[in-house]
Amino acid sequence: MAMNKKMLDILNEQINKEVYSAYLYLSMNAYLASKNLPGFANYMRVQYQEEMSHALKLFDYLLERGEKAILAEVAAVKVAWMDPIDVFEDTYEHEKFITRSIDEVLGVAHEVKDYATINMLQWYINEQVEEEANVSSILEQLKMIEGKGTGLFMLDREMQNRVFVDSTQANV
């Protein structure tokens, strides 16, 4: 049975938003690397990988449902920030935007009674809670140390330990 067109369209839009997120975080990676903050750059490289995996999870879901994933043009992303605090403020705002977007997708799934999609989206709901909490924590730590000094270098060193784990594969 074909997926509801409204559902299909909003899922394809979400794929585009996830790819945009990946591009944004890769741009942040480049900025932070240029500021000699390899740990923060690593954090954003891992974010890039996560967002691409999120896009692929939706892409594969559509294919599994017998639908076509439509890849749209990805908008240009920001390339410069004032400092790491500015980067993480933008990151936090972007994650809140993605949370609202996932909520909209879930709303459509409820509206059209697409229970399979409702079930699949639960993973994204949980992921966004985690994403917002992690970014908020880092942002608050950056603000405590005013984004500079020894604290910045210690936090940068901590960010170097983050590795990509493809959590999308747990509940495909």
In order along its 172 residues, the chain shows pLDDT tens digits of 789 999 999 999 999 999 999 999 999 999 999 999 999 999 999 999 999 999 999 999 999 999 999 999 999 999 999 999 999 999 999 999 999 999 999 999 999 999 999 999 999 999 999 999 999 999 999 999 999 999 999 999 999 999 998 888 764 4
The token pair at 121 is: 């989206």
CATH of 5-163, one of 3.40.50.2020, 3.40.640.10, 1.20.1260.10, 3.30.9.10: 1.20.1260.10
Q: Environment class of residue 164 by beta-carbon count within 10 Å: exposed (0-12), middle (13-18) or buried (19+)?
A: middle
Domain ranges of the chain: 5-163
Burial of 64 (0-12, 13-18, 19+ CB in 10 A): exposed
Q: Which of 9, 146, 27 is CA-nearest to residue 90?
A: 27
Residue 172, pLDDT score: 43
Give the per-residue pLDDT at 170.
Answer: 61
**What is residue 169's predicted lDDT score, i.e. its pLDDT?**
74
Alpha-carbon distance of 11 to 104, in angstroms, equals 10
Helix and strand numbers (H, E) in the chain are 5, 0
